[in-house]
Structure 1
Amino acid sequence: MDFALDEDEQDLVDLGRTYAQREIAPIAAKAWHEERCTTEVLRGLGELGLLGLLVPEKWGGIGASTAAYVALLEELAAVDPSIAAAWQAHSTIGSLPLLLFGSDEQRERWLRPLAEGRALGAFGLTEPAAGSDVRALRTTAKKVDGGWVLNGQKTFISNAGTDMSFGVTLLARIAGTPDDRPRFGSFVVGREAEGYTMGTKMRGIGWHGLDTRELFFTDVFVPDEQVIGEPGGGLGQFLSALEMGRISVAALAVGTALGAYRLAVEYAKERVQFGSRLADFQAIQFKLADMATEIEAARWLTQYAAYLRDTGKPFKQAAAMAKLKASQVATAVATEAVQIFGGAGYMLESPVARFYCDAKILEIGEGTNEIQRLVIARDLVG
Structure 2
Amino acid sequence: HEPMLDRDRPLFRCWVIDGVPGGRFAIYTKTHHSIIDGVSGLKKLYDGLSLTEEPVILPPAFAQPRPASQPGTPTPALRRLTDTVRGVINQVGAINQISFGALRKGLSAALGSHLDGSLPFVAKHSPTNVPLKQARGFATASLPLEEMHRIGHQFGATLNDVAATVIDHGLHAYLREKEREWSHEFIAMVPVSLRGEGDSAAGTRVSAMFVRLGSPEADVTTRLQQVAHSVAVAKKELGAMSGDTAMTYAVAIAALAGAGSSTHLDRITRPACNLVISNVPGAKETRYLNGAPLVGIFPVSALAAAIGLNVTLSSYRDHMDFGFVTNAAALDDVQALAEHTRQAYQDLKAAAKTPRRTGSRTR
Interval containing the TM-score (normalised by the shorter chain): under 0.3
Report 1 or 2 for greater relative contact order, CA contacts < 8 Å, sequence distance ≥ 6: 2
Structure (1 or 2) with the greater helix fraction: 1
**Structure 2 length normalisation: TM-score?**
0.27
**Structure 1 length normalisation: TM-score?**
0.26
